[in-house]
């Protein structure tokens, strides 16, 4: 029942992903959520985010920001990063995951999604058929509707970890 929401990978941070390994495995496009994935909710792109995108471009990745936030938030975050972006994405709807791949010139086999929420980010990527990586939220301060979702996420992640332990022991 909960497997629909299980991420393909679960890591501590978007800054700890082995991007070189992803590239070696054939991935060429990365779609990112912004808030609590790359920076705390509402924060501008910081030096760490800017350096990450510089590194990703040097590796050879095309990137796209996919956010449910409005244009002003997403465009201001992207000011110094300069990648593709889609605002008001209506995640988990598949439509803008597909549009992001179109913008980057990639396909499902060569694209990975990285985000911090199961019920929007990961679920949307899974519905689209895209490899996905769930990362832990950067900061605990969140809007009330997200706080409520986090309580449900804990239940799903409990069963996810339980299944991961079973696989390791098999």
> What CATH number should be reported for the domain holding residue 77?
3.40.50.1000
Range of the domain at 159: 2-169
Residue 150 has pLDDT above 80, yes or no: no
Q: Which one, of 118, 133, 122, 113, lies nearest residue 61 by Cα?
A: 113
Contact (Cβ atoms closer than 8 angstroms) between residue 34 and residue 74: yes
pLDDT classification of 120: cutoffs 50, 70, 90: very high
Q: Which one, of 90, 114, 122, lies nearest residue 29 by Cα?
A: 114
Q: Which one, of 116, 83, 117, 122, lies nearest residue 100 by Cα?
A: 83
Contact (Cβ atoms closer than 8 angstroms) between residue 66 and residue 33: yes
pTM value? Answer: 0.90
Contact (Cβ atoms closer than 8 angstroms) between residue 38 and residue 32: yes
Residue-wise pLDDT tens digits, 16-31: 999 999 999 999 999 9
CB burial class (10 A; 0-12, 13-18, 19+) of residue 154?
Answer: exposed
The count of domains in the chain is 1
114 bridge partner residues: 32, 133
Please give the residue that has the higher pLDDT: either 59 or 140. 59
């Amino acid at each position: 029942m909960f497997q629909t929401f299980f991420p393909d990978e679960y890591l501590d941070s978007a800054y700890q992903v082995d991007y070189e390994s992803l590239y070696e495995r054939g991935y060429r496009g990365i779609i990112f959520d912004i808030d609590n994935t790359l920076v705390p909710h509402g924060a501008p792109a910081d030096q760490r985010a800017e350096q990450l995108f510089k590194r990703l471009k040097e590796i050879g990745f095309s990137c796209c920001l996919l956010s449910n936030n409005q244009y002003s938030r997403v465009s201001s975050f992207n000011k110094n990063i300069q990648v593709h972006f889609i605002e008001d994405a209506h995640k988990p709807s598949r439509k803008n995951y597909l549009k992001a791949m179109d913008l980057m010139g990639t396909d499902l086999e060569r694209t990975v999604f990285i985000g911090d929420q199961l019920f929007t980010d990961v679920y949307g990527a899974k519905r689209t058929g895209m490899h996905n990586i769930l990362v832990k939220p950067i900061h605990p301060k969140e809007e009330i509707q997200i706080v409520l979702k986090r309580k449900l996420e804990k239940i799903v992640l409990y069963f996810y970890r339980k299944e991961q332990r079973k696989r390791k022991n098999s």
